[in-house]
Amino acid sequence: MAQPGFAQVQKVKTGNGGQSVAAGQQDLPTAPAPKQTEPLFMLDTPVNYAEPRHQTLRHPLDAYKATDYPLPRLSNTPRLRDLLRDGKLYLSLSDAVTLALENNFDIAIARINLDIADTDVLRTKAGGSFRGVSTGLVTGTLGGTTSTITGGGGPGGTSTSSGGSGTGSSGLVLSENGNGPLPELLDPSITGNLSYERANTKQSSTLITGTDTLAQDTATYNFGYTEGFITGTALSVTFNNSHTSTNSQRQSYSPLLNTTFRAQATQHLLQGFGTWINTRFMIQAKNDRRITDSAFRQQIIYTVTQVESIYWALVSAYEDVQAKQRALDQSTKLTADNRKQLEIGTLAPLDVVNSDSAVATDKQALIASESNLKYQQLVMKQALARNLDDKGISDSEVIPTDRVGLDRLVEEDMPVDELVQQAYVNNPQIEQAVLTMKNNEITIRALKNGLLPTADAYAFYGGSGVGGAQNPNLNCSSSFSAGSFTACPPGYVASSNYGNVFANTFNNTSPDYGVGINITIPLRNRIAQADQVRSQMEYRQTQMRLQQLYTQIKIQVINGQYALTNDRAQVMSAQATRDFGAQSLDAEQKKYKLGASTTALVLAQERTLATAENNLISATAAYARDRSNLRQLLSNTLDQYGINLVDTARGDVNTKPVIPGLTAPKAPEAPKPIVVSGDPSTTK
């Protein structure tokens, strides 16, 4: 498949594999078609809101009843409390991801978009326009950053700047998406008008009515039926009835029964003609539903990656507290030893002052590290829980039970081009951009149709019937002078009942039929011209945006692969520095016990070791974070972890994700003997 960004051009040539590519663009590399998010049309509730509530003989009014959407669950899933032991929340990375899939508010908010998109599908089935659905990432979860993770990443980075502000009315910019001739409403409708009126009207002359005051009682019973069809045809049927009683001397019937019937079909000939133009909203709504599925997958990948980032920030904060505690223990022990030596007179008071100062510094560092840990624990809980008012959860310490392994990922050794192609296939943003372009192509075609004049042919057929009982007030006098009245003899007017009147309406005794055409030609047509060319401009923007996505993703993937290589080297270097620092401190402490060193030198080695441990913690966390970021770029997080989209859409995770590349926590190794000979770079 040729890159969709080059789908519309003036001249088209055939590229490799028979794809149609733009003139001047045929030498550009092709990108694979994006993988479709599956399964399509995921549901988060048993109700399919793309289907109507059908009327049945047993429940004929169901179509007119309101549908109540289920209340959101604001409580935590039981899984969260199951992890509590002795007031502590022992949390693995798999548990964290599972709880996020069940409880995270960002995912819960995005989940409702699936049903919102279904309502658009239902609207368009009836010929209505789609309202659209928000498919942007929900980013309400805090966290993912910490002062204990620094560095990481490849040699470069990419960022997306914010767009300009809207310049339309009130800062709003309206897209051409969905514009064009409106389809006919496909849901049939029945109208009815039942009314009764009594009117006494003063007459200025008796010539017409034969009375000074005309009294009339009128009852009307009018009904109508309308329905549209996807061909651009509209059908309307009207059936009107009236029952009029009067005191007029000139009206033959009282009560007068009058019925009329008319059926008319109207067909668009130019603008709005054809099946495609009248079903395009259905196609666009289904494309939007697919975009929503893809956006939901993107939301899951994003939130899982964010939760991983929060988890590794928690791990680094947790290990930082342990490192700070070890540093405080070392300086405290040195101070205690110094005071003993001061008491027996073998140490100068200045050395005690230096060690006491180191203890104070280490205590302050430990307090700051503990504060950071408490904050990271709180951030972790808000990402995994819906209700933090549960005292058992809010007061618990979070103990991370997983650490990242340093085994090489398969992606690190893959050729860059192959890795980039994999990202192109899996990335939901590309899938959404391609579907958006399809919608834009539909809009372009619709607005080209909107440039045409309006020409509607119509044909109708009708009939009418009149009857009733002879008016008892009917004047048969030959004189029209006032006060002259001669009652007409019975049978003077042939009476008929409603059945006869109804039959005459439809038996072609009084037919009414005709054909015609209505034409409207806008002489300058400027609005349609502006809309049509603007739709082309918006389409060009989506083409460039898609190509920009390809470029950005390629750079980000390459940068992500570099990042892992750099991060692993940084971790190995930090580990070696930490080991050398531990060996140096151990040697310095031994020299100090033999009287061959000073307190200042021992404290300096302790500071060096503390710095090395901090660097190791930070480098390891940066490696773990960048590893999950690469999976996000490749959009294979769900496949790698075994996350089921159907379960996630329902918010009920039956199978916990299996996250590769993790190890159990382990304490720092004791310093090894210093190697006197050999290659220093091989020392572990």
Q: Does the pLDDT value for residue 480 go beyond 80? A: no
Q: Does the pLDDT value for residue 382 go beyond 70? A: yes
pLDDT, tens digit, 9 for 90 and up, residues 618-627: 999 999 999 9
If one compares 5 and 579, the residue with the highest pLDDT of the two is 579
For the residues 64-85, what does the mean pLDDT come to? 89
Ramachandran angles phi, psi of 432, nearest 5° = -65, -40
CB 473 within 8 A of CB 254: yes
For the residues 471-485, what does the mean pLDDT come to? 71
CB 259 within 8 A of CB 505: yes
Where does the pLDDT of residue 481 fall: very low under 50, low under 70, confident under 90, or very high at 90 and above? low
Q: Does the pLDDT value for residue 541 go beyond 70? A: yes
If one compares 257 and 2, the residue with the highest pLDDT of the two is 257
Contacts of 609 by beta carbon, 8 Å cutoff, 6+ apart: 327, 578, 581, 582, 584, 585
- What single string gives the DSSP state of each residue in 564-627? HHHHHHHHHHHHHHHHHHHHHHHHHHHHHHTTSS-HHHHHHHHHHHHHHHHHHHHHHHHHHHHH
Residue 491's SS3 state is coil
Q: Which amino acid is at 403?
A: R
pLDDT of residue 40: 81
Q: Does the pLDDT value for residue 214 go beyond 80? A: yes
For the residues 451-474, what does the mean pLDDT come to? 91
Any idea which of 144-158, 295-309, 399-413, 464-478 has the lowest mean pLDDT?
A: 144-158
Instruction: Tell me which DSSP letter residue 675 carries.
Output: P
pLDDT, tens digit, 9 for 90 and up, residues 136-180: 899 999 876 666 666 665 665 444 344 444 455 555 667 888 888
pLDDT of residue 29: 53
The tokens of 170 are what?
């009130």
pLDDT of residue 389: 87
Any idea which of 52-61, 285-294, 332-341, 365-374 has the lowest mean pLDDT?
A: 52-61
pLDDT of residue 3: 45
Q: Quote the CA–CA distance of 653 and 641 in Å, as a whole number.
A: 13
- The owner of tokens 């109507």 is 52
Q: Look over the chain and give the mean of its residue pLDDT values, rounded to a whole number.
A: 85
Per the document, the length of the chain is 684
CB 554 within 8 A of CB 35: no
Q: Residue 467, class by beta-carbon neighbours within 10 Å (0-12 exposed, 13-18 middle, 19+ buried)?
A: buried
pTM of the full structure: 0.85
pLDDT, tens digit, 9 for 90 and up, residues 22-38: 444 444 456 788 888 88
Where does the pLDDT of residue 67 fall: very low under 50, low under 70, confident under 90, or very high at 90 and above? confident
Where does the pLDDT of residue 317 fall: very low under 50, low under 70, confident under 90, or very high at 90 and above? very high
Q: Quote the CA–CA distance of 482 and 472 in Å, as a whole number.
A: 18
pLDDT, tens digit, 9 for 90 and up, residues 411-447: 888 899 999 999 999 999 999 999 999 999 999 999 9
Q: Does the pLDDT value for residue 55 go beyond 70? A: no
Q: Give me the residues paired with residue 41 across strands.
A: none
CB 291 within 8 A of CB 432: yes
